[in-house]
């Protein structure tokens, strides 16, 4: 059974903490090692969709998420940049369940962290080395400390230091796009549709808005092409004038919102082609360390949450054979995440109107509800249990 397995998770971001919460829920001992001095997330929003909310509710986080999330309703829509409607955005799974929240990233992180014993979270631990043998694995930190475990999960993000111990390193690829993002008090825009996810598409760029924190804040993101590569950093300060200039002449709803923006962040968008493998012995990769994807389906963290559920289910009844459980995890997860990585790229082409035939783009956007349904209906706990059987 699981109770003697000890798992070390390197990285206390959304993926690492979601994995820790799933493992703890199934009675598996964990320790999370985060390089930052305190756990934290930036002032930006993130979508949580039915495929991951279903799992988080099963481990008891439903009420906590409902307290801080913002419901997203049926007014959600795709528009051309001039404001004309292209189609509705699906906000339910096939059963009609609206399992969707716009979340402030910090609220999401705090909710996940609260599901893990405080004594299991070690901040100020930057991992710098890894080794393993037949008996266990060892991670070393820049503060001179080291930890041993039966399994090490690398949840250390797109620039993972542990990735090279599992697979030959491959560089993240720059998409040529920069995301300007920030939050604005909903009160500043009294006429705004507060429960809507809205996307304006066109002319090589797109803009989206959705509510977070019970609808008190609106999260906006402007995706704009750049000539020079933009760093990946949640804390890089963006130029709000450049952002506003990029969408000058757009639907007045967009320009009115941008007029109220005082400051924003920016983030260079990177992804990676699917890696050949994620696992070596007692080490495996999770979240952006395994499958960074462009944000055009909003699935990066959702897929990391699915990863954590799969690992917990497969390790829970592995009978001590952790290496076989990690191989099963990779075999189950790699095809799914490779598919979502590829579909995220394709959706970016639609959002940025990179089509010769815009009628074709509009038809695809109208049909994208089918793709969304297939993403939302997926039940990783069930899939992992069947895989294990
Ligand atoms: C513009 C934009 C919008 C997005 N919107 C969405 C969305 O709506 N929905 C969604 O699901 N996803 C979205 N994503 C993607 C999502 O943000 C990521 O997929 C997710 O944050 C990945 O989580 P992670 O824990 O794997 O990695 P990270 O969030 O990068 O966390 C990695 C953690 O590891 C720590 N770390 C790194 N190196 C070390 C080390 N050596 N030792 C110890 N700790 C270390 C870091 O400090 C960090 O805390 C978006 C991304 C972008 C850029």
183 within domain boundaries:
no
pLDDT in tens, 98-154: 999 999 999 999 999 999 999 999 999 999 999 999 999 999 999 999 999 999 999
Residue 214 placed within a domain:
no
User: Is residue 295 in contact with ligand 1, taking CB distance under 6 Å?
Assistant: yes
Among 65, 156, 222, residue to substitute to test ligand 1 (most atoms within 8 Å of Cβ):
156
Does the structure show a pLDDT above 80 at 228? no
Residue pLDDT, tens place only, 12-38: 999 999 999 999 999 999 999 999 999
Neighbours of 327 (CB within 10 A): 17
> What would the mean pLDDT of 263-282 be, rounded to a whole number?
91
Q: Span 215-240, mean pLDDT?
A: 80
Query: Which whole number is the average pLDDT over 352-361?
Result: 88
Q: Tell me the C-alpha distance between 345 and 201, whole Å.
A: 15
Does residue 74 lie within any of the structural domains?
A: yes
CA torsion 156-160-165-166 (nearest 10°) is 80
Rounded distance between C-alpha atoms, residue 34 and residue 222, angstroms: 30
The enclosing domain of 348 has a CATH number of: 3.50.50.60
CA of 158 to the centre of ligand 1 (A): 7
The answer, yes or no, to whether any atom of ligand 1 lies below 6 A from the CB of 157, is yes
Stated pTM of the model: 0.96
Residue 69 lies in a domain: yes
Interacting residues of 96 by C-beta distance below 8 A, sequence separation 6+ = none
Does ligand 1 have an atom closer than 6 angstroms to the CB of 127?
Answer: yes
At residue 2, the pLDDT reads 47
Paired tokens of 62: 């439903």
Whether the CB of 301 sits within 6 Å of ligand 1: yes
User: How much is the CA Rg of the chain, to the nearest whole Å?
Assistant: 21
The answer to whether residue 257 is domain-embedded is no
Strand order in the sheet with 127-132: 127-132, 137-141, 146-149
Give 47 or 266, the one with higher predicted confidence.
47
Q: Is the CB of 285 under 6 A from ligand 1?
A: no
Q: How far apart are CA 232 and CA 330, in angstroms?
A: 26
Query: In whole angstroms, what is the distance from residue 173 CA to residue 160 CA?
Result: 14
Q: Tell me if residue 165 falls in helix, strand or coil.
A: helix
C-alpha torsion sign, points 7, 318, 130, 304: negative
Minimal-distance CA residue to ligand 1 atom 39: 156
Contact 95, 77 (CB under 8 A): no
The rounded distance, in Å, linking the Cα atoms of 32 and 7 is 9
Range of the domain at 291: 6-171+272-388
The pLDDT of residue 1? 41
Structure tokens at 130: 């890894």
300 phi/psi in degrees, rounded to 5: -55, -55
7, 29 in Cβ contact below 8 A?
A: yes
How many structural domains are present in the chain?
A: 1
Lowest mean per-residue pLDDT among 269-273, 284-288, 303-307: 269-273
Report if residue 229 sits inside a domain: no
Q: Cα(83)–Cα(53) distance, rounded to whole angstroms? A: 31
pLDDT value of residue 354:
85
- pLDDT, greater one: 137 or 319: 137
pLDDT surpasses 70 at 277: yes
Is 246 within a domain? no
End-to-end CA distance of the chain: 15
Encode pLDDT of 293-310 as tens digits.
Answer: 999 999 999 999 999 999
Find tokens 């699915």 and name the residue.
306
From CA 18, how far away is CA 350, in angstroms rounded? 31
pLDDT-derived band at 234 (thresholds 50, 70, 90) equals: low
Residue 191 placed within a domain: no
**Is pLDDT above 70 for 189?**
yes
């Amino acid at each position: 059974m699981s109770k003697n397995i000890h798992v070390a998770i390197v990285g206390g971001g959304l993926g690492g903490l979601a994995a820790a919460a799933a493992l703890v829920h199934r009675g598996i001992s964990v320790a999370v090692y985060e390089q930052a001095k305190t756990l934290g997330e930036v002032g930006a929003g993130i979508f949580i969709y039915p495929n991951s909310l279903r799992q988080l509710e099963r481990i008891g986080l439903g009420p906590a998420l409902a307290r801080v999330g913002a419901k997203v309703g049926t007014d959600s829509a795709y528009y051309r940049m001039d404001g004309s409607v292209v189609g509705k955005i699906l906000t339910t799974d096939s059963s009609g369940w609206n399992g969707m929240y716009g979340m402030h990233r910090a609220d999401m992180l705090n909710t996940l962290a609260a599901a893990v014993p405080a004594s299991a979270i070690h901040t100020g631990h930057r991992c710098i080395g890894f080794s393993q043998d037949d008996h266990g694995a060892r991670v070393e930190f820049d503060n001179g400390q080291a930890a041993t475990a039966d399994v090490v999960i690398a949840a250390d993000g797109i620039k993972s230091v542990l990735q090279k111990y599992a697979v030959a390193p491959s560089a993240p690829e720059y998409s040529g796009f920069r995301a300007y993002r920030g939050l604005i008090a909903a009160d500043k825009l009294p006429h705004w549709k507060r429960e809507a996810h809205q996307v304006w598409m066109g002319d090589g760029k797109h803009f989206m808005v959705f509510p977070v924190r019970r609808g008190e804040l609106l999260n906006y993101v402007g995706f704009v092409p750049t000539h020079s590569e933009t760093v990946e950093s949640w804390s890089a300060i963006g130029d709000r004038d450049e952002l506003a200039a990029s969408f000058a002449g757009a639907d007045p709803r967009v320009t009115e919102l941008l007029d109220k923006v005082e400051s924003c962040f920016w983030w260079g968008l990177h992804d990676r082609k699917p890696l050949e493998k994620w696992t070596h012995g007692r080490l495996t990769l999770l979240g952006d360390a395994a499958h960074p994807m462009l944000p055009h389906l909003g699935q990066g963290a959702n897929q990391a949450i699915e990863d954590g559920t799969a690992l917990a289910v497969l390790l829970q009844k592995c009978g001590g054979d952790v290496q076989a459980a990690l191989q099963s995890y990779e075999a189950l997860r790699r095809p799914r995440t490779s598919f979502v990585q590829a579909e995220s790229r394709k959706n970016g082409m639609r959002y940025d109107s990179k089509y010769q035939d815009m009628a074709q783009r509009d038809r695809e956007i109208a049909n994208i509800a089918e793709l969304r349904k297939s993403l939302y209906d997926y039940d990783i706990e069930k899939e992992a249990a069947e895989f294990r059987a």
